[in-house]
Amino acid sequence: MSARLSPSAGTAGHAGLMASAGRVGRVERRRDSSLGWLVVFPDVEHHAGSSYLRELAASDCSPATIRSYAYALLRWFRFLHERLVRWDRAERTDVRAFVEHLREVPNPQRRRGRPDAPPLGVVNPRTGKQAPGRQYAARTINHQLSVLFGFYDHACAAGFGPLVNPVPAQRGRDGGRVLAHHNPMEDFVVHRRATYRQKQPKPTWRAIPDQAAEQLFGVLRCHRDRALISFWLSSGVRAAELLGLRHGDLDVGAHTITVVSKGSRAREEVPASVDSFAWLALYLAEDRPPLVEGGPLWWTRTQPPRPLTYHAARAALQRANAVLGTNWTLHDLRHTAAQRMLADPAFTLVDVQTILRHASVTTTQIYTQPRLEDLIEKVLEHYARPPAPAPTLDPGYDASAVHELLGIRR
C-alpha cells in the first residue's frame, strides 16, 4: 500500500478530512485493562500503540505517564492523518514538519483558562512571572519527540511495519552512543541536542515573597484552602502529594504527614508546621467533610461533596490570583518552602534535599540561586553605601620611611 493516498481521493474529500482531523481518534480509559489508557484511531484500537503502552506499564510507569504518552501518540496520528500518511510509512521529513507544526500552531490547552485570565505570554507586573505562551513549549515538543522515538523503536523491534525509526535519536546525531568510536587524537565534541530537539531554558525557580504570601493567605475563602496553603508552604510537598492524603496519614503529635512520593511512589513522612495542623482542625470542624477510614482527606464544598482534585485546588488558587492580580501557581508554594528552609542557617543543603525528597542534590541546588528581588536590593544597597575612606598612615610614622619600606613610589 502506498505511503500517501493518491490525489484521486478528491479535493473535497481531502478538505473534509482536514476539517475533521482534529476530532479523529481518542484516548480511552479501560478500567478492566492493565494498560489503563488506550489509543483509539481512527475508530478502532491502535494495536501498535497499545503494545507500546503495555511495555510502559510492564516497566512500572505510572498511569499518569501512560496517559501522557497516549495523548502524545494521538497528537502524532492526527497530524499524519491530515497529511494522508500512514503511521508506519512516516519519514524523517514528516517528523520535521510535525516539529514545525507544533512551533506554530496554538496549544489548545491554553484556551481552557478562565475568561478573566491575563493574556498569554505577558509578564505579570506584580509577580514578574511570564504567563505561558500560546504555542507549545519547547519542553512539550521535546517530550513529544521522546515519546515518538520510543514508540517507533518498539515498533521496529516488534515487527509492526517500519524498518527505520524516523525520529532522530537523543544520544547523538549518528544514533549511537556518544563518543563510542572517538579518535583519542581529536578533541571531544559533545552534541547536547539531537536533531529537532528544542532549546530549553535553564531551570529557574521563583519563591513567593513573605508579604505576597501573607496577602495570598488573606484572600482565601475557607479553612480548607488555608490549611492546604499552610501545608504547602511549610512542608514543601508537591500539590498532588498533599491532595492524595488519606485519613490515617497524619501524625499530629509528631507534626508529620505521610505522602506518596512522586516517581518512587514510596510512602514517606514529611514534617509540617504546627499552624498547618491548626488550620486542618478548623477545616475538619467547620466543613465537616466525610470521615471515612482510609478515605480522602480533602473534599469539595459542593453538595454532594466530592474528593478534591488537582484542577479544583488550582481553581481555588486562581480565584485568589484574580483578586490580587497575580499569577502564582501551586508549584510556587513548593519553591517558597525550599527558599525559606535554605535561608535558615539551621538547615543544610542535604537537609532540604531530604525534606523535598529529591533524588539528587543537584536538583536541590536550583533553589540556592539568588532571587532577582534580592539581587536588586543588594545592588541598590551597594550604591547607596558611602565609599570607604582611603587608608592613611598613623601620625607617629614617618611617611617617607614607610613608603621606602613598602616600595611605594609617590
Note whether 24 and 153 are same-domain residues: yes
- Asked whether residue 376 is domain-assigned, the answer is no
- Cα–Cα distance measured from residue 51 to residue 161, given in angstroms and rounded to the nearest whole number: 13
What does the alpha-carbon distance between residue 375 and residue 370 come to, in Å, rounded to a whole number? 7
Q: What is the mean pLDDT of the chain?
A: 85
Cβ atoms of 349 and 365 closer than 8 Å: yes
Residue 175 φ/ψ region, left for φ over 0, alpha for ψ in the -120 to 50 degree band, beta for the rest: left
Residues 123, 220 share a domain: no
CA distance 49 to 402: 84
Beta bridge partners of 251: 256
137, 233: one domain:
no
Distance of CA 125 to the CA centre of its chain: 23
Indicate whether 267 and 138 sit together in one domain.
no
User: Which segments in the chain show pLDDT lower than 50?
Assistant: 1-21, 172-176
Q: Are residues 234 and 297 in the same domain?
A: yes
Record the cell numbers describing residue 309, joined without a space: 482534585
Residue 48: inside a domain: yes
Q: Is residue 390 part of a domain?
A: no
Establish if 43 belongs to a structural domain.
Answer: yes
Of 137, 158, 179, which marks where a domain is finished?
158
Closest by CA to 27, choosing from 89, 83, 87, 75, is: 75
Q: How many domains does the chain have?
A: 2
Q: Is residue 307 within 8 Å of residue 246, measured between CB atoms?
A: no
Q: Is residue 280 part of a domain?
A: yes
The three cell numbers locating residue 135: 504555542
* Catalytic residue IDs: 238, 262, 331, 334, 358, 367
In the listed set 127, 158, 189, which residue is the last one of a domain according to the structure? Answer: 158
- 3-state helix/strand/coil string of 203-251: CCCCCCCHHHHHHHHHCCCCHHHHHHHHHHHHHCCCHHHHHCCECCCEE
Cell representation of residue 359: 533524588
Backbone torsions φ then ψ of 296, nearest 5 degrees: -60, 150
**Within-domain flag for 170:** no
Domain residues for the domain of 49 are: 7-158
Read off the C-alpha cell for 217.
Answer: 493567605
Q: Where residue 214 sits, what CATH number does that domain have?
A: 1.10.443.10
Residue 176 lies in a domain: no
Please give the span between the terminal C-alpha atoms of the chain, in angstroms, as a whole number: 92
pLDDT digits (tens, 9 = 90+) for 311-331: 999 999 999 999 999 999 999
Same domain, 287 and 359: yes
Coil, strand or helix at 397: coil
Assess contact for 144 and 75: CB atoms under 8 A: yes
Contact 269, 324 (CB under 8 A): no
- Considering the domain architecture, whether residues 226 and 324 belong to the same structural domain is answered as yes
Q: Are residues 124 and 45 in the same domain?
A: yes
